[in-house]
Amino acid sequence: MHHVNKSIELVENEFARDVVAGLSADVKTLPSRWLYDERGSALFEEITKLEEYYVTRAETSILRERQADIADFIGSGATLIEYGAGAGIKTELVLAGLRDPRGYVPIDIADAFLAETSKRIASRFPSLCVRPIERNFLDVFEVPFDGSDGRRTGFFPGSTMGNLNTIEAQALLMQMGRHLGDGGRAIIGVDLQKNVDTLLRAYDDRAGVTAAFNLNLLERINTELGGDFRLEQFKHVSRWNEIEKAVEMHLVSLCDQRVTLCAQTFLFRTSETIHTESSRKYTAESFERLARAGGWKVAEAWQDADALFGLFGLIRY
């Protein structure tokens, strides 16, 4: 197994740069990818099991029911390249349905999870060549070819696409086109627009797991950047942004306060928020437009029985 590793210092510098820039802006924002340190990734796995979080259940039901159709779409002898692989639970469903799969390339910034997922999948599918890549998939990078790759197929489940703004999403779709090559295909899972109550509850569960996931970002800043955030002085909220068609997660300051990190001080007014994640919700039509702008056409559109979630099979133009 090859492991493309970035130095820890570089990651820490990027983190510091993003946090300082994000908290210095008029509207305080932090990139959602920093939510996924080891604890954040574990909390996300807990979220996927919550009653309110229909997203994982709906997508998994499509992957189960359409396993044979998905395998036909991908074809035999393929290599699966997964963007934001996380725990890779759904990946096993796809791989198990494939005829003679050759390779699996999980890409993720969450290093601990990436190693665990790669190990588990390599041991369940011993004939598969597993080559994890630890990277921000928004950076421009190559996926080195392996002689036995066969046809490459991209897999981007979990509605992670929804965390990207339109420019990032288009850039990633184009990068996927470069990675997957001529004749490349991709399977992308996106959450569909639905009533706002259902959406908001999915991002603000009664047990408080999503709140812990969001607040963990402040804990991470405290630990890794020497910050002095007092977590009890911030509250998790989820909001619907009608213009963006997105559920936003914010951390609301409960009082006027100042926070110091990286030798800089940041002021927070009461009710001021840090915007930590957007989860955009699509319709079949709005996703098709996005895909087309990124160089892909929709060949297959699968949904669960309740039409909560969409899984799309894409072919490069």
Ligand X SMILES: C[S@@+](CC[C@H](N)C(=O)[O-])C[C@H]1O[C@@H](n2cnc3c(N)ncnc32)[C@H](O)[C@@H]1O
The footprint of ligand X (CB under 6 A) covers: 33, 36, 41, 44, 48, 56, 84-86, 90, 108-110, 136-138, 157-158, 160
Q: Give the CA angle between residues 155, 5, 7 to the nearest 5°.
A: 135
| Closer to ligand X by Cβ: residue 42 or 252 | 42
Q: Which residue is nearest to ligand X (CB)?
A: 158
What residues form DSSP beta bridges with 301? 312
Q: How far is the CB of 24 from ligand X (least distance, A)?
A: 21
Q: How far is the CB of 137 from ligand X (least distance, A)?
A: 4
- What does the alpha-carbon distance between residue 191 and residue 282 come to, in Å, rounded to a whole number? 6
| Closer to ligand X by Cβ: residue 213 or 234 | 213
Q: How far is the CB of 258 from ligand X (least distance, A)?
A: 30
Long-range contacts, stretch 42-47, CB < 8 angstroms, 24+ apart: 43/209, 43/212, 43/213, 43/216, 44/86, 44/213, 45/86, 45/87, 46/209, 47/205, 47/209, 47/210, 47/213
Q: How far is the CB of 80 from ligand X (least distance, A)?
A: 12
- What does the alpha-carbon distance between residue 173 and residue 90 come to, in Å, rounded to a whole number? 21
| Closer to ligand X by Cβ: residue 62 or 110 | 110
| Closer to ligand X by Cβ: residue 40 or 184 | 40
Cα dihedral 153, 159, 160, 166, rounded to 10, equals: 90
Q: How far is the CB of 208 from ligand X (least distance, A)?
A: 19
| Closer to ligand X by Cβ: residue 46 or 272 | 46
